[in-house]
Amino acid sequence: VTAAPAVAPRADDEGRFARGALVGTGYIGGSLALALTHAGRVGAWVGCDADRERLGRARLLGLVRETAPSPAEAVRGADLVVVAVPVLAGPAVMRAIAEAVRPEALIVDVGSTKQSIVAAAATLPDPGRFVGCHPIAGRERTGPEVADVNLFRGRYVILTPVAETAPAAIEAAAALWRAAGARLTQMDPAHHDEVMAAVSHLPHVVAYSLILTLAGLSGEVGRDLVGMSGAGLRDTTRIASSSPEMWRSIFLDNRACVLGMIEAFAARVDALRRLIATGNGDELVRLLTEARAARARILEQPGS
């Protein structure tokens, strides 16, 4: 790693950062680096990644200009730090950079859970300069090869500042995401984790369980179902192609909320099962009709 250049230690008046550290060079981190470079918000990125091979690819792809052997080395001299690792690894990264990061640097993350990373920010020299961020974007892709400069365009990013977060840090983080084309909203970290357990983590549990059910069918049925599904199964299980590592991390990090949602879901499945078993067609139609209306309501974009 090259020595840190002599630059302003934080964003200038135009919201530009001279040196960004990207800890984790996967799809989301790589896309954010691309978008901020493209928007002229970050002069140069130094990247690091526990997967050295992926880090090499991110550099060859031009997502980062330099590489560093560790998070602590990467953040030295940086005025912006982006933590983009699987959420279970986030707190360890925060501890690893605590000694080396400039107190004035803005630190953001992109993880799908927020309570643990926000708690880990307490180890930073200035916890007020950390802003938890969750971009609602990603689909089932992985790796720096598919990094997309437009990934965040028009998508929501949830900021999860807490009482000690500096208002200037919140504004600086918001400005970065706006530069990447995102729309912003804010939530308390615990509330965020509950909402995401509902709209994202539970659907992943469900999609994985559904495909595992089919995979577990033996004999002729297991053989003949191959290729016999319409678009329904394809769409219902699309997110079961997501990264196993990332989802292990999310399920375990947000364990309590996810378990609560699974319990609520299992009760709903059982309610439908009972209506089918008893042949209660009227109540079935009522519930299925309610589901259709609820879906339209839940998927509607606020303000649209």
Instruction: Please pick, from the candidates 92, 122, 146, 217, the single residue that binds a copy of itself as defined by CB under 8 A.
Output: 217
17/10 Cα distance (integer angstroms): 6
Stretch that binds a copy of itself, among 23-31, 48-56, 60-68, 228-236 (CB under 8 A): 228-236
Task: Work out whether 187 is an interface residue with a copy of itself (CB under 8 A).
Answer: yes
Task: Work out whether 229 is an interface residue with a copy of itself (CB under 8 A).
Answer: yes
Q: Residues with Cβ < 8 Å from 68, sequence gap 6 or more?
A: 1, 21, 46, 47, 48, 74, 76
What minimum distance in Å lies between the beta carbon of 9 and a copy of itself?
A: 35
Task: Work out whether 277 is an interface residue with a copy of itself (CB under 8 A).
Answer: yes
Instruction: Please pick, from the candidates 136, 162, 166, 175, the single residue that binds a copy of itself as defined by CB under 8 A.
Output: 136
Instruction: Please pick, from the candidates 60, 92, 168, 276, the single residue that binds a copy of itself as defined by CB under 8 A.
Output: 276
Position 10: which residue type?
R
Task: Work out whether 244 is an interface residue with a copy of itself (CB under 8 A).
Answer: yes
Instruction: Please pick, from the candidates 36, 44, 156, 182, the single residue that binds a copy of itself as defined by CB under 8 A.
Output: 156
Pick from 69, 81, 100, 99: which is nearest to 2 by CA?
Answer: 69
Sheet architecture: strand order including 80-83: 66-67, 42-48, 17-23, 80-83, 106-109, 130-131
| Backbone torsions φ then ψ of 164, nearest 5 degrees | -85, -5
Residues numbered 52-91 forming contacts with a copy of itself, rule: CB under 8 A: 88
Task: Work out whether 184 is an interface residue with a copy of itself (CB under 8 A).
Answer: no
Task: Work out whether 51 is an interface residue with a copy of itself (CB under 8 A).
Answer: no
Question: Is there a contact between 184 and 156 (Cβ–Cβ < 8 Å)?
Answer: yes
User: Which run of H or of E encompasses 54?
Assistant: helix 52-60
**Of residues 119 and 214, the one with the C-beta less far from a copy of itself:** 214
